[in-house]
Structure 1
Amino acid sequence: MAQEVRGVVARAKGEPVGVETILVPDPGPGEAVVRVQACGVCHTDLHYRDGGINDEFPFLLGHEAAGIVETVGEGVTDVAPGDFVILNWRAVCGTCRSCKRGRPWYCFNTHTATQPMTLADGTVLTAALGIGSFAEKTLVAAGQCTKVDPSASPAAAGLLGCGVMAGLGAALNTGQVERGDTVAVIGCGGVGSAAVAGARLAGASRIIAVDLDERKLAWATGLGATHTVHAGTADVVKSIQELTGGFGADVVIDAVGRPETYHQAFYARDLAGTVVLVGVPTPEMVLQLPLLDVFGRGGSLKSSWYGDCLPERDFPVLIDLYLQGRLDLDAFVSETIGLDDVEAAFDKMHRGDVLRSVVVL
C-alpha cells in the first residue's frame, strides 16, 4: 500500500518549489523504499527547477541523500531493511559493453526504480536523477543504495551522492593525482573544494585554488589548498605557472565548465599534463583551441562523469576515511535546514553563501 509523505516539488519552470504530499508505492522487484535522513541541496536540483535538465514537470527534487532502508522488493539481496545507505544515481547494469569490459563506472545502462512516485491526485512525478530525496521517504532501484558504516553522520555522508563525490573523483579517479603532483582547481564551490580535498588525500605536493570569491578560496584553503589565486585580480595561467616552477600544474581541474575556464586550464597545465572537466557546460557553449596546441602539448584532456565513481567501491572507502578523520566531509555542511527551507537554500547557493545546505529530516 502506498505511503503518504511530504516532499519538495517543482511544478513549473522557474517557479518557487513547495512541500506537498506525495505517494510512495511499495517496492516492486529490484526496488527499495528508503527513509531519508538527510539530503544536500545541489545545483542540479536548481537546474531541474529552472528547466535546465528537461521539461518533464512536476519534479520531486533532491538526490544527495543518506538514509535507512525500510523495505525491499522481490529479488533484492545486496541491501536489507535497517541498512544505512547512501543513494546514488549510477546503479550499474553489469551487462552493457562498458560493464563487460570491466569499466562499470562508465555504465551506459544505469537504471532507476520502475514504479513512479506521484502526487496525491495521481500525477506522476519525475524524480531528480531518478532519486527524488527531498522527501521523508523515496522509492529507488536497490542498486542505487550503497551500504556504508552507520556511525557516519547522514548530513555528511549523503553529500557523496553527487557533488562532493564528483569533485573527489575528478582528482582521485579521473585525474589520477599521485603523491608529489602539482594540482590546480579552477572554481572552488562544492565540487571544486571537493577536488581540492581529493588532491590532498592523494598526496599532491602543491594544490592551487582559483576563484573569484574570497570566501570560496578560504573554504578551499581549509580543505587543503596550499596556494590561492584570485581570478579577478591575477592572470590565472601565469599565476599557476609561477607557482609550479614556470611549468604549469600536472593536473588542472575545471570545476566551472565554461570555455574561458577550460582555456585557462588547458594552458595552465604542464606539458603532458592532464586537464579534467568536471564543471557542467550549458548547450550553447563552444570551445575553440588551436589544434596544433592540442597536439603539441600532449597529455590528456578528460571529462569526469560523477567523478568516474563506482559507488559500491568508492562510498565505503571514503566513509571509512571520514570516520578516521582523514576526509573532512563535515566541512562541506554549511547549514542544516528543513524541507520548507529548500527555496531559500537555492537563493543562498546562487549567491555563493554556502558550500552545501543540507535538509535534515
Structure 2
Amino acid sequence: MSGALRDLLAARIRAEGPLGLAEYMAAALGHPRHGYYATRDPLARDFTTAPEISQMFGELIGLWLVERWQALRSPPRVRLVELGPGRGTLMADALRAARLVPAFLEAVELDLVETSPVLRARQEAALAALAGPPPQWHDRLEQVPEGPLLLVANEFFDALPIRQFQRTPRGWAERRIGLAPDGRLAWGLGPDLPAGALPGLPPAELGEVVELCPAGERLAAEIGGRISEQGGAALILDYGYTASQPGDTLQALREGAPADPLEAPGEADVTAHVDFAALGRAATAAGARCHGPVGQGAFLEALGIGARAARLQQGAGEAQHRAIAEALARLTGPEQMGRLFKALALTAPEAPAPAGFPAPG
C-alpha cells in the first residue's frame, strides 16, 4: 500500500513539480484509497490518545461540557460536536458522565466530524451501548446544522496539513518534496519568496524552519465565528507550544515507532505540534474569546481528576489501584502529557471563564 501511494506521488511530482508539505500530508493521511486514515484504525497500532489511557479523561470532559451548557442558560437544543472522535471512547465516557444531568442529554444533538469509514464504524459501536442521543456523521464542520455549539477536538489539529518555510541568506523559501536521483521522495527548497510574502513570522536564525497551519487557522476561525454568532464553547486539547516559534516538529509514527515522514506515505501517522497562539489569533479575529492555553495537567487537576482517581481506587484491587495511579501520572505528569499537551477554550466574548481556566485579568 505504501508503494502504491509513493508511486502516485512520484508520478505527480514528475508531471507537476515538487509538492508542498501540506499537499503531501493531505495525501499521506487522507487519500481515499491509500491514505493512513482511510484504510485502518490507526489507534490500534501507532499511538494511544488520552481517552484510551483512562475513562477519567472523557468523564471530566463530559462534565466540562455540561458546565458550558449551563453557562449558556441550558438551551433546549445544542449541537454537541467532536472533531476526529477516534474510536468514540471520549464521547462515550463524556455522555456516561453527563447522565448526572439528564436535561443536558435531552438537549443534545450529537454530531461527529469524521472522514474515515473505519473509524466511523468504531465510533458507532462505542456509542451503540449508550441510551444517549443518536450520532450523525459529517465530513466537515460546516455540514453541522446551525445552533448553539459545544465542540471538542482532542488530538485533531496536530494532524492537519502544515507548510514549512526555511530561513535562507536571501529571506524565506518553502520546503518542498521532490525526487532524489534514485526515485525516493526527498526534501528540497522552492524559490526564494518575495520580501513581505510571509508577514508575522516569528524571528528565526539562518537555516531554521517555521511552520504554518493554514487549515488549522481556518478551522479555528470557523469555530470562533460560529460561537460568536450562535453561542457555545469549544475545547481544543493537543500537543504543541503556547507562543509561535521556529522549529521543525514534523514527525511520523509507523508500527508504534518513529519513522521518516517521507519513507512510506500512507503507512505512517504524520503530525506536527500545534501552534496554539495562531489558533487563538484566528478565533479571536472571528469574534470569539480565547481562554488559555493551559497545560493539560493543570486543566485536569482543576477539574478534579485527583479526586476522581481516588474515588475509582476505593475498593480496587492492587493491580487496578496501581493502573489508576499510572494513568493519572501519564495524563497530568509534567514529564509525560501534563505539560506538552495543552487545553484551549473558545467562548463568546461575554461568557464567563470555563472550568479549568483562570478568569480573565
Please indicate, yes or no, whether the TM-score normalized by the shorter chain is above 0.5: no
> TM-score, normalising length from structure 1?
0.34
Instruction: Report 1 or 2 for greater relative contact order, CA contacts < 8 Å, sequence distance ≥ 6.
Output: 2
